[in-house]
Structure 1
Amino acid sequence: MESGDERAPLLLTRTILQPSTQHTLACAAVIAANLLERLAYYSIAGNLVFFLYGEPLCWAISLATVTILVLTAITYYLGLLSGWISDSYFGRYGTIVVGYIIYIFGYIVFIYVSFYFEKFEIHDFQNVTYEGTSCNSTWQKDTRPPVCADGNSPNCLTALYVGVILVAIGAGTVRTNLASFGGDQARSGGIKSTHRFFTGYYWSLNLGAILALVAVAYIEDFNFFYGFIVAGSSLLLSFLLFLLGTKLYIRRPAGAINVFKIVYRVISNACYVKRNSNIQDDGTVHNFLDYANMEHEGGKFNVNQIEDVRRLWKLCKVFLLTIPYWMCYSQMVFNLFLLQGLHLHVRFDHFNECLSNNISDEIKSKGASANLCDHLPFIDYTDKKGTPPIPPASLAAFNAIFIVLFLPLIQKCYRFLSKKGIEALTWRRLWLGMLLASLALSAAGLLEYFRRKNIAECGLLRQVIGGTYYDASPSISLLWQIPQYCLVGASEVFFVVTGIEYAYIESPINMQGVVMGLFWLASGIGNFIGLALPYIFYYIDDIWQPKEYINCSRIDKYFFILAIFMLIYSFIFICISKCCDLSLNSVIVETHQKRNNSEPESASATPQLARRRTVRPVNFESSVD
């Protein structure tokens, strides 16, 4: 038992042992704020390509797809900066508040642009823009305000990129710090409470995504202005809910530790001691950083400080190994999967028409390999009444739905395997996530192959989505994308959830904000590499045509190449994880041994001990308390 004058390692503004009701309410406020914030984020990210590519903005498809990658990449990059700021200067609470304010200003830009163009909205099929062409709406020219560009420049390029950057900064800041901030509230209830919080937190994240990709996406399919109003209101409500819990929160003092300064000083001191001393190999130096130990002449740091820097370096190496996964992931859910969905049959009506008699035998014989840029007959479906179109962005909801349903099942599967002597080691879970990502890309490639084959045999189906013509496959439904979205969801359960747990458990207690930022930074690097991939393949082979619409490109080959790369890299990852000491052989889920009826672990346990214990199970059937 700790003595009354003993100070806890985690410096807080309030006592660590909070009443159960207080820390429950604090956790609930964070989880509710996270749900509403994620709804706002995915309302933009999930439909951004559609918003920019369609009428009336009419951006080139290459610029629209690059913009969504810029949004996600900056969001992830800001995680490191905001984590460092929260750990070193403002504290997590202050950093989150600033992030929300920036976030709201970014949303105001999107609402303003969509409001301006709302009066030019296309409500019939007489002035519909054909995909791949620039806006022909000269009647907008004289009334367009200075913020929007005329001529060949994309509409509102400057204004929208300001909005994208502000939303990315705000979203990255809030997401990185909200999880760690909530963990601080839950820690007062012990390890079990902490893991219940993260379960509720991740569920709220995906529930927010589901609401955005189903409800808000449906509104945006008819009118982006009203969709952004709903999502912006959700963001504002999220901010207010977070502020309402202010008096309940446990808050770390600002400027408790400058993480990067400590890391720099430890490394510099180790270099100095190694260069200027004659330390004999007496068994005390196991690592380069051990030279900075104050037990050696010239050393200035204690064992705990050196161990924290060593653990941070190990985490950095693991995060670097995740970059190829994020590179492939960036090409999927809100990018090429969405673009592919726009060129599939988006209604529930069964379509049997085929114009095979009007298609040359050469194109038919080539099938999916045919040049679909050539003039092909099309079935005009724009003026026919039928079932309402399925918003292509709503299919991404199956990704989140699968995660919500699969998370509790996989925990039970882990426990079953543990009883059979097969432990769910960290590297195994990460590896399985990579395999599932490869399968998702393969499924997308197969669907794209048959989509092209169907067009070569039966012609095109011309359909209207959001005031823009899209030449789609006449017989293949958008619903065929469900398997690839579910595979991506399963991949996230194994890779992303495991990565977050690993980062939280292995991180030094005073560096959690920076560590979570580094985790998302790796994702940002992968996204920026993903920016260049289409152009690399454009110059290597005629696989991707960034200036043309999707039927001129061999996206099926692109998907297959990424799938093969991900499969090969997954085995390289296994070799590296086994050859290097990266702490990936740990078990971060429940083993089959049951705990005795002992006292629950309390927050009085030191963080070092807590990090090294076997992590107790996440109780998915329980509410966050």
Structure 2
Amino acid sequence: MAEPSAIDRPQRFPPQIKFLAWNEACERFSYYGVTSVLTIHMVRNLLLRESSAEAAYHLFGTAVYLTPLLGAWVADRFWGRYRTVFWLSFAYVLGHATIAAFESPAGLFAGLALIAVGAGGIKPCAAAFVGDQFTRENRGLLKKVYDLYYWMINLGSTVGTLAIPLLLDRVGPRVAFGLPGLAMAVALLVFWLGRRRYRYLAPSGPRPHGFLAVVRDALAARGAPAAPGAGLLSRAATRHPPEAIAGARAVLGVCGIFAPIVGFWALFFQYGSSWVLQAERMDREVLGLHLASSQVSFLNSIFVMALIPLFAGGLYPWLERRGVQVTALRKMGAGMFVTVLSFVAAWLVEHALEAGIPVSVAWQVPQYLFVSMGEVLVSVTALEFAYTQAPPTMKSTIMGLWYFAIGLGNFVTALVSAANRFHGTAYFAFFAWLMLGCALWYVAVARRYRGADWPVAGEEAA
């Protein structure tokens, strides 16, 4: 009987993907384990005001998602993605150890700073390194692998969000922050174990035709005429090759898509701050179990793990069979509008609390469902979008820009919390209107976006 051809043979993920998937699950356990109790720890144990704790929580999130720009630059130009993830993971482990060892505001903030440095290397590089394991022959599996990758993220965050609040309440901060550090050490070990199987792409080294060089020279030549219909970047064509101009234009196009999504992230991470504090004032007895307020956010991970296969295996094919083209841009747009509903639901819960109505924490289920739907549509899709729309030499950088958008969203929330101008229902109404405005902005930008079809990077890599 004849062997099936390579074309007929079902495609499978590269075997090294399992190391990257479990590395991500352990790292997400450590991160979400800490963030699930961070706000409550600052309020209960460090005696910070609620508004100050919320601001500190989101400033930490800002740092975690802004440092990837530097990590991406180091990876793309000098170290490569593997070495950047490996070495900066040690800062991550040390950050957890610092928080566990020093139970004080100074110890907490020093540890969080180290975690932010570690995240700067891991976040833009780990997701791009997953994409690097695929060649032209199995590139069609990218969409599926990022579904798996995101599923593993939420597996780790679910376990961390359920376990760490219990440890904080029953054992104390030292163990509650120490266990995530151990999980991060395991993540580093798993990543290292796959080192002989990975597909490595060499860093580009210093690039005279990089994105910043093209933009700089285009601005410097602002008196020169631009080519008809080619945009302002064409002014740099005398100093840079056409592929460099095209790459810079692609980066700016992707930034245009990411800009309104900042509003999504300004809402999303509030499940770890304002939603936790809202749950603190609710009846948390559910089916005979008493939930800690910081445990309720496990609903997000549970919903995401259920929705990823439901959407990928059910909803998207169903829409395609009915003639609806399911593109990355459309999925992200739908997610933006769905997320508006999450804060409308949170506003209704807050309204009931202010009216003195006894409210079960089960009333928070709709807001978690809507924000989880938004996450699957926006964030899962964006990983694939960012990788495929990036020029071959800028994969980590584009991922870094995606995380930069997340950091800006956290910064917006930190500013609103620190200003302390909105309270109760007005707070949730403000963010609902903000999200609606950003969703409409996104639609206007996405309509003008023209996608890129870049060749697979590093085909020559071993």
Match of 2:425 among 541, 551, 556: 556
Is 1:186 the equivalent of 2:176? no
Residue identity in the other structure for 2:75: S
Greater shift in the superposed pair: 410-419 or 184-193: 184-193
Distance 1:267 1:61, change over 3 A: closer
Distance 1:511 1:43, change over 3 A: same
- Equivalent in the alignment of 2:263: 324
1:266-305 equivalence runs, <5 A: 266-270=214-218, 275=223, 286-293=230-237, 299-305=238-244
Match of 2:395 among 512, 524, 529: 512
- Equivalent in the alignment of 1:394: 295
1:140-155 equivalence runs, <5 A: none
Is the 8 Å Cα contact of residues 40 and 235 (structure 1) preserved in structure 2? Answer: yes
- Equivalent in the alignment of 2:435: 566
Q: Distance in 2 between matches of 1:496 and 1:178?
A: 15
1:390-426 superposed Cα distances (whole Å, 9 cap, x missing partner): 1222221111111111112222222222222222234
- Equivalent in the alignment of 2:118: 170
* TM-score normalized by the length of structure 2: 0.89
Residue identity in the other structure for 1:243: W
How far has the Cα of 1:568 moved from its partner? 3.5
Match of 1:217 among 153, 162, 165: 165
Is the 8 Å Cα contact of residues 68 and 119 (structure 2) preserved in structure 1? Answer: no
Percent identical among aligned pairs is 23
How far has the Cα of 1:170 moved from its partner? 1.2
Is the 8 Å Cα contact of residues 270 and 292 (structure 1) preserved in structure 2? Answer: yes
Residue identity in the other structure for 1:235: M
- Equivalent in the alignment of 1:497: 380
Match of 2:39 among 8, 24, 49: 49
- Equivalent in the alignment of 2:91: 102
Is the 8 Å Cα contact of residues 219 and 226 (structure 1) preserved in structure 2? Answer: yes
Is 1:309 the equivalent of 2:192? no
Q: SS state of the match for residue 85, structure 1?
A: helix
How far has the Cα of 1:562 moved from its partner? 1.6
Is the 8 Å Cα contact of residues 304 and 372 (structure 2) preserved in structure 1? Answer: yes
- Equivalent in the alignment of 1:239: 188
Is the 8 Å Cα contact of residues 257 and 445 (structure 2) preserved in structure 1? Answer: no
User: Is there any run of 5+ residues in structure 1 with no aligned partner, and where?
Assistant: 1-19, 115-155, 294-298, 350-386, 456-474, 545-554, 587-606, 612-625
Q: Distance in 2 between matches of 1:582 and 1:245?
A: 38
How far has the Cα of 1:434 moved from its partner? 1.7
Q: Distance in 2 between matches of 1:481 and 1:260?
A: 52
1:166-222 superposed Cα distances (whole Å, 9 cap, x missing partner): 112212321221111121123375213433322221111011111111133322231
Match of 1:88 among 77, 83, 92: 77
Distance 1:402 1:225, change over 3 A: same
How far has the Cα of 1:310 moved from its partner? 1.1
- Equivalent in the alignment of 2:63: 74
Is the 8 Å Cα contact of residues 80 and 517 (structure 1) preserved in structure 2? Answer: yes
Distance 1:259 1:339, change over 3 A: farther
Distance 1:22 1:247, change over 3 A: farther
Q: Distance in 2 between matches of 1:246 and 1:428?
A: 37
Q: Distance in 1 between matches of 2:215 and 2:169?
A: 54
Q: SS state of the match for residue 133, structure 2?
A: helix
- Equivalent in the alignment of 1:468: none
How far has the Cα of 1:497 moved from its partner? 1.7
- Equivalent in the alignment of 2:450: 583
Q: SS state of the match for residue 187, structure 1?
A: coil
Q: Distance in 1 between matches of 2:266 and 2:223?
A: 40
Q: Distance in 2 between matches of 1:190 and 1:21?
A: 7
Q: Distance in 1 between matches of 2:417 and 2:215?
A: 40
Is the 8 Å Cα contact of residues 99 and 174 (structure 1) preserved in structure 2? Answer: yes
Is the 8 Å Cα contact of residues 49 and 68 (structure 1) preserved in structure 2? Answer: yes
**Number of residue pairs aligned between Structure 1 and Structure 2:** 446
Greater shift in the superposed pair: 96-105 or 224-233: 224-233
Distance 1:246 1:520, change over 3 A: same
* TM-score normalized by the length of structure 1: 0.67
Is the 8 Å Cα contact of residues 29 and 241 (structure 1) preserved in structure 2? Answer: yes
Distance 1:391 1:452, change over 3 A: same
Is 1:197 the equivalent of 2:135? no
How far has the Cα of 1:234 moved from its partner? 1.1
Distance 1:571 1:194, change over 3 A: closer
Distance 1:477 1:23, change over 3 A: closer
- Equivalent in the alignment of 2:282: 344
Is the 8 Å Cα contact of residues 29 and 242 (structure 1) preserved in structure 2? Answer: yes
Q: Distance in 2 between matches of 1:105 and 1:302?
A: 44
Q: Distance in 2 between matches of 1:568 and 1:174?
A: 32
How far has the Cα of 1:290 moved from its partner? 2.8
How far has the Cα of 1:244 moved from its partner? 1.0
1:494-535 superposed Cα distances (whole Å, 9 cap, x missing partner): 111222222111111110101000011011112112111134
Residue identity in the other structure for 1:312: V
Residue identity in the other structure for 2:394: M
Distance 1:167 1:40, change over 3 A: same
Greater Rg over alpha carbons, structure:
1
How far has the Cα of 1:536 moved from its partner? 4.0
Query: Pairwise CA RMSD of aligned residues?
Result: 2.6
Distance 1:165 1:420, change over 3 A: same
Distance 1:272 1:482, change over 3 A: closer
How far has the Cα of 1:301 moved from its partner? 2.7
Is the 8 Å Cα contact of residues 102 and 169 (structure 1) preserved in structure 2? Answer: yes
1:581-624 superposed Cα distances (whole Å, 9 cap, x missing partner): 3237x9xxxxxxxxxxxxxxxxxxxx73569xxxxxxxxxxxxx
- Equivalent in the alignment of 2:210: 262
How far has the Cα of 1:450 moved from its partner? 0.9
Q: Distance in 2 between matches of 1:187 and 1:335?
A: 41
